[in-house]
Structure 1
Amino acid sequence: MESKNKKAPAKLHIRTGDTVKVISGNAKGETGVVKKVLIDKSRATVEGVNMITKHVKPNAQNPQGSIEKMEGTIHISNLKVVDPKTGEATRIGRKANDKGKLQRFAKKSGNFI
């Protein structure tokens, strides 16, 4: 009998609702808000970034079928969180706030996010 060792998903530096900047790839330099994070695949969907074309088959509600533009996913390593104070892309760290709870902070400005 084989036992599969499943690792717990890693903590990511990006969460849903964060404003991020794309640092590499076709969408380099674009910014947007994270709509969805796929933790197991280490990918995120960013609003208005990495647009792809999807062909939809005809069905009862849409007998004609269609071609839709939608956001594709981007690997987490290609995204940086935008510092709310300076508006620049920054790395993220974790440190305890005044209540002793770990909270994310921007490494450029030192402010909590």
Structure 2
Amino acid sequence: MSRLSEGGPTVNHSSFDSALRDVLASIRATSGADLAVRSEHARRCLATAVAKAASAPRQALEHVAAADEHLEYGELTDARTRLIAARSHLRGLRLVAARA
């Protein structure tokens, strides 16, 4: 376990970050797979990732919840925006873990 610069403990969220990256890749705005199928698959992946990352930063989890709602309505662009925002809340933790 690494420590933040303020001295508090942090948890390695690399698997959560990896899951978010995978979902982002799966919902690229390209032709091909059915929108509803891609959205439902992405929602299942997010649910699994959140269940395994209960200790992730609250802000990241809030963005993931909003992304899930956008996916429910097939709004891929908005969902991608929220997932990118969620990853930004993990970025500081990734940098600290990389330095340790």
Scaled by the length of structure 1, the TM-score of the pair is 0.21
Scaled by the length of structure 2, the TM-score of the pair is 0.23
Higher helix share: 2
Higher strand share: 1
* Pair member with larger Rg: 1
Higher relative contact order (CA 8 A, sep 6+): 2
